[in-house]
Structure 1
Amino acid sequence: MKKYDFFNPLIVVVAILAFLAMGYIGSFNYRFEDPLDAEVILTIIFACIVFAVGYFAVKYKANVKISQTNYLSEKLLLALTVIALILQSLNLVFLGGIPLFNSTLKANATTNLWRVAYPLFLITLNFLLAKYYSRKYLILIILGALIFGLNGYRTSVLGILGSSFITLYYLDKISRKFGIVFIAIIVVGLMAVGYIASQSIAGQHWTLNPMELIFYRAAFTLEVFERIIPLAGTTHGKILAMIFSSGSPRTFIGEYVLHYNVCLTSTIFGPVMLDFGYIGLTIQMLFMGAFLGLVHKIKNGVGIGIYAFILTHTIIWIETGPTDIMIWFLYLIGLIYIIMMLFKKNTGSDEI
């Protein structure tokens, strides 16, 4: 595990191709009469190539090695992490139940309280691990995954467990045995949340087992993208405007593409394709490849945590699509980190 950098930005390309493979298999078994259209496959391969070009464009530039920042105390980070858990617990209390077991509550679970609690927990947890690692803080990872998982969304569970795993990996705290156990927890946690949530949807009766459900979801999401391609560039930036203002981009996509009032995932490529076509897709994937490549290159101290939660949520976007302003806020933190590190390099300073 020390010999190879398993979590360099190209892991996004691997994850995209794995998702495509699962969707292709799922399209035979659960969703389509015909397999995925060739244009879908070629478009996704093209997007992967553009992402890789962006990554390699910054990979071979001069290295930036800077000492870690010292202005975040352990007590402050621990306090903020605990506060985030308390806020999410209060969110569940105010909802009046457990959204994981109630589809009506789940539809209203992403409250403003949750929008504060989740990013606060994600950020401070990874900063705490990156700067002040201690075995006792592993308890916070499990608590966070459990408490936020009760909202009924797999993305929260993957965001917490995945980013923590990547942070610990770069701290060289992942032994082979620990790594296998941690990955098993991630897989089981995601399957459990997804399956339980699907069984609690009112008016729907699922017969798929947890493993079949994963392939079905991949196939369905890629089917949405397949239907988006002929509509490329027809929304003229409306989805992008909705992300940074009001409204529900995923619901808009459901109404625009399938003509149903339903919240849809449309892959990492879907929203930008609808808004700006292949030109927009090229710019987005080039940006993501270069951005992740740069954060990966200069990660140090809390920068390890920053890279971990940005990479994790970029991988999550492969299915869900980059339609969450809250996650773009994580990218903003990465941009601020890049500017700070480059400023420190140019001034020769070890402090901000």
Structure 2
Amino acid sequence: MKNHDFFNPSIAVVAILAFLAMGYIGSFNYRFEDPLNSNVILTVIFSCTVFIISLITIQYKITLESSEIDYLSEKLLLILTIVALILQALNLVLLGGIPLFNSELKANATTNIWRIAYPLFLIGVNFLLAKYYNRKYLILVMLGALIFGLNGYRTSVLGILGSTFITLYYLDKISRKFGILFIAIIIAGIAGIGYIASQSIIGQTWTLNPLELIFYRAGFTLEVFEKIIPLAGTTNGKILSMIFSSGSPRTFIGEYVLHYTVCLTSTLFGPVMLDFGYVGLTVQMLFMGTFLGLIHKIKKGIGIGIYSIILTHTLIWIETGPTDIMIWFLYLIGLIYLIIIYRKGKSGVKLKTQPK
């Protein structure tokens, strides 16, 4: 593990292709009439190619030398983390129950309190581990995964456990046994929450086990993307405007694509394809490859935490789609961090000269 950077940005391509493979298998085994068509496969491969080109360009052309930011104290980060946990606990109290076990509560669980608490916890706990590592802070990680997991969304658990795992990896705190245990907890957590939440849906009659449900969800999400491709560019930026204003982008996608009210995940590529077609998809993948490549170069101190958070949620977007304003806020924090380092004069940005 010390000799290889397993979590460099190219892992996104591996994850995309793995998701495509699971979805292709799922499209055979469950309620889908036909396997995924070639348009889906070719579009995914095209997107990966654009991402790789932008990533290679950044890694080859630009060198960043990072330095630490000193004004985030251990006490401040600990307070922010605890405040985030309290806010989420308050959110559950105000909801009047546990959304994980009640689909009606789950539909209303992503309140404004949650939208503040979740990114605040991610920032607090990852910065705390990255800058002031102490094994006792792993208790906060598990507590956060539990409390936010009660909202009924797998992505929250994956976001917390995945980002902290990557943070610990770059701190060289992952032994083989610890790594296996942590990954087992992540898999069990997301599979268990997904299964329990699906069973709590009123009127559902599924008989899928947790493993089958993962393949089913991948297949269904890619089937939604398959239906989006012929509609490419027809929403003219409406989804993008909804992300940064009001409304539910995923519900809008459900109504627009399937013609009934349902909150849909549509892959990393679906929303931008609906809004801007292949041109928008190309721009998005160029941006993500470039941005992740730059953030990857500043993995020092809280820079490790920033990269871990952004990479993890980019991987989550492979299924859900980039429709969450709070995650774009985390991208913004990464951008601000890059600007701060550059303006402080503690980081040099150099273009490598090409050999003649």
- Report the TM-score range of the alignment, normalised by the length of the smaller protein: over 0.9
> 1:128 & 1:77 partners in 2: Cα distance?
6
Q: Equivalent residue for 1:324?
A: 324
SS of residue in 1 equivalent to 2:229:
helix
Counterparts of 1:191 and 1:42, CA distance in 2:
29
Look up the SS of the partner of 2:61 in the other structure: coil
CA RMSD of aligned residues (A): 1.0
Could you say if the C-alpha distance between residues 72 and 212 of structure 1 is closer, same or farther in structure 2, counting changes exceeding 3 Å? same
Q: Specify the alignment match of 1:142 in structure 2.
A: 142
Maintained 8 Å contact 1:66/1:344: no
Counterpart of 1:294 in structure 2 is 294
SS of the residue aligned with 1:71? Answer: coil
Residue 175, structure 1, aligned to residue 175, structure 2? yes
State the match for 1:55 in structure 2.
55
**For 2:75, what is the secondary structure of its paired residue?**
helix
AA aligned to 1:283 is V
Worse-matched range after superposition: 52-61 or 7-16: 52-61
* SS in structure 2 at match of 1:21: helix
- Per-residue CA deviation, residues 196-227 of structure 1 (Å, 9 max, x unaligned), is 00000001122000000000000000000000
* 8 Å CA contact 1:268, 1:322 repeated in 2: yes
What does the per-residue CA deviation read over 1:213-266, in whole Å, with 9 as the maximum and x for residues that have no partner? 000000000000000000000000000000001110000000000001000000
Mapped to 2, the partners of 1:46 and 1:64 lie a distance apart of: 28
CA distance in 2, matches of 1:31, 1:291: 38
Aligned counterparts, 1:162-241, within 5 A:
162-241=162-241
Match of 2:250 in 1: 250
SS at match of 2:233: coil
Once the 2 structures are TM-superposed, how far is the Cα of residue 347 of structure 1 from its aligned partner?
Answer: 7.8
Cα distance in 1 for residues equivalent to 2:67 and 2:98: 44
Paired residue for 2:28?
28
Match of 1:119 in 2: 119
In the alignment, residue 217 of structure 1 is paired with which amino acid?
R
The percentage of aligned residue pairs carrying the same residue is 79
Cα offsets for 1:80-119 (capped at 9, x unmatched): 1001001100111111100000000000101111111101
Instruction: Compare 61-70 and 80-89 and name the one that shifted more.
Output: 61-70
Q: Structure 1, residues 22-75: CA drift from partner, whole Å, max 9, x if none?
A: 000000001322210001000000000001111111101342223211100001
Distance in 1, Cα, partners of 2:195 & 2:11: 26
Question: Aligned partners of 2:66, 2:91: CA distance in 1, in Å?
Answer: 40
User: Deviations along 1:99-152, whole A, 9 cap, x unmatched?
Assistant: 000000000101111111101000111000000000000101100000000000
Distance 1:171 1:346, change over 3 A: closer
Partner in structure 2 of residue 3 of structure 1: 3
What is the TM-score when the length of structure 1 is the normalising length? Answer: 0.97
Contact 1:66-1:345 within 8 A present in 2 as well: no
Query: Aligned partners of 1:234 and 1:300: how far apart in 2?
Result: 43
Q: Counterpart in 2 of 1:71?
A: 71
Return the alpha-carbon distance in structure 2 between the equivalents of residues 346 and 108 of structure 1. 45
- For this pair of structures, how many residues does the alignment match? 348
Aligned match of 1:151: 151
Answer yes or no: is the 8 Å Cα contact 2:13–2:48 preserved in 1.
yes
Contact map agreement 1:298 1:341 (CA 8 A) in 2? no
Conserved 8 A contact 2:66-2:347: no
Unaligned 5+ segments in structure 1 are none
The residue aligned with 1:308 is 308
2:161 match: secondary structure? helix
Residue identity matched to 1:255: E
Counterpart residue identity of residue 261, structure 1: T
Normalised to the residue count of structure 2, the TM-score between the two structures is 0.96
Q: In structure 2, what is the Cα distance between the partners aligned to 1:42 and 1:337?
A: 36
Moved over 6 A (4+): none
Offset at residue 346 of structure 1 (A):
6.6
Report the 3-state secondary structure (helix = DSSP H, G, I; strand = E; otherwise coil) of the residue aligned with 2:82: helix
Equivalent-residue separation in structure 1 for 2:88 and 2:190 (angstroms): 19
Counterpart amino acid of residue 53 in structure 1: I
Q: One-letter code of the match for 1:276?
A: F
| Contact 1:268 1:317 survives alignment (8 Å) | yes
Contact 2:130–2:168 (Cα < 8 Å) also in 1: yes
Q: Match of 1:161?
A: 161
Residues in 2 aligned to 1:220 and 1:118: alpha-carbon distance in whole angstroms = 27
| Structure 2 letter corresponding to 1:109 | A
Q: Secondary structure at the match of 1:250?
A: helix
C-alpha distance in 1 between matches for 2:263 and 2:323: 12
SS of corresponding position for 1:265:
coil
Amino acid in the other structure paired with 1:65: E
Is the contact made by 1:31 and 1:219 (CA closer than 8 Å) also made in structure 2?
A: no
Contact 1:250 1:265 in 2 (8 A): yes
Query: Is the aligned partner of 1:95 residue 2:103?
Result: no
Distance verdict in 2 for CA 1:330–1:93, change over 3 Å:
same
Asked whether the 8 Å contact 1:80–1:120 carries over to 2, the reply is yes
Residue 63 of structure 1 aligns to a residue whose secondary structure is strand
Q: Does 1:259 align with 2:259?
A: yes
Stretches of structure 2 lacking an aligned partner (at least 5 in a row): 349-356
SS of match in other structure, 1:298: coil
